[in-house]
Amino acid sequence: MANSQVANLIQLFYEPKAAFTSLKEKPASWLVLAITILGSLAIFYWYFSTVDFPWMLDRMLSAQPDLKPEAREAMAQIMTRNTMMYSTLGGVIFATPIIFALFALYYFIASKVMGSSISYSKWFHFSIWLSVPSLLGFPLMALQVATGNGQIGMEDLNMLSVNYLFVQAPVTSPWANLLNSLSLPYIWTAFLSFVGMRVWTEASVRACAIAAALPYVFMYGGMALKTAVSS
């Protein structure tokens, strides 16, 4: 089972249609889920263990220049190294499967609209397989931690973000959060979503393209609208 998952993982990078054809019958994705969670835990534990915490805290608070002094002091007392580390690690453990489950629910509903009878459990595995491009970020995140001399902001761990690669908006910019969350692997993920839905549902190119794009249009479009209104 593990060997077949490794083969499918590699095949997604150069022959996604064949990979999804194989996955339609045996979609198990526990290896990818384990790599995603364990890799994230290792990176963030290493990061919080080595980061210059006073520097990081000052950087985070500087992103909120409108904070009153008493609020800033209260946040500084609450945001300790251990608090931030374990809340982040806990978020990885619990939030990661929930996010995959929500995406699976979307694909399940979309497939029903297309007339497919594929079960929710298969779409759950499908959503995990779509995250494979994001695994490419782990070595780059490790490189950032190893070479950052303890002064790397969390947002700069993602070297594949639009902000890191192209814009370099400061943390004080209202658009920084959106630009940091936009990452190049998501383009690949959206393409894999399109290919996978075509293979699994056999629906039209138009229907699968719309279904693949909608989550990202709503998510990032909503973030952009909120930022534009608030700024």
**How confident is the model over 174-208, as pLDDT tens digits?**
899 999 999 999 999 999 999 999 999 999 999 99
Q: What pLDDT is stored for residue 1 in this prediction?
A: 59
Q: What pLDDT is stored for residue 172 in this prediction?
A: 84
Instruction: Calculate what percentage of the chain has a pLDDT beyond 70.
Output: 99
- The token pair that represents 91 in the structure block: 């978020």
- Which helix H or strand E contains 33, and what residues bound it? helix 30-50
Residue 24 has pLDDT above 80, yes or no: yes
Give the mean model confidence (pLDDT) for residues 43-66: 90
Q: What pLDDT is stored for residue 76 in this prediction?
A: 79
- The token pair that represents 216 in the structure block: 């990202």
3-state secondary structure of 161: strand
Give the mean model confidence (pLDDT) for residues 75-93: 93
pTM, to two decimals: 0.94
3-state secondary structure of 212: helix
Q: What pLDDT is stored for residue 124 in this prediction?
A: 98
Domain count within the chain:
1
CA 176 to chain centre: 16
Distance CA 102, CA 94 (A): 13
Distance CA 159, CA 138 (A): 10
CB 131 within 8 A of CB 182: no
Domain that holds residue 129: 2-230
* Residue 189: burial class (beta carbons within 10 Å; 0-12, 13-18, 19+): buried
- The token pair that represents 116 in the structure block: 């497919």
Question: Regarding predicted confidence, which is higher, 172 or 91?
Answer: 91
- Using only the alpha carbons of the chain, give its radius of gyration: 20
Please give the mean pLDDT across all residues of the chain. 94
pLDDT tens figures, 130-171: 999 999 999 999 999 999 999 999 999 999 999 999 999 988
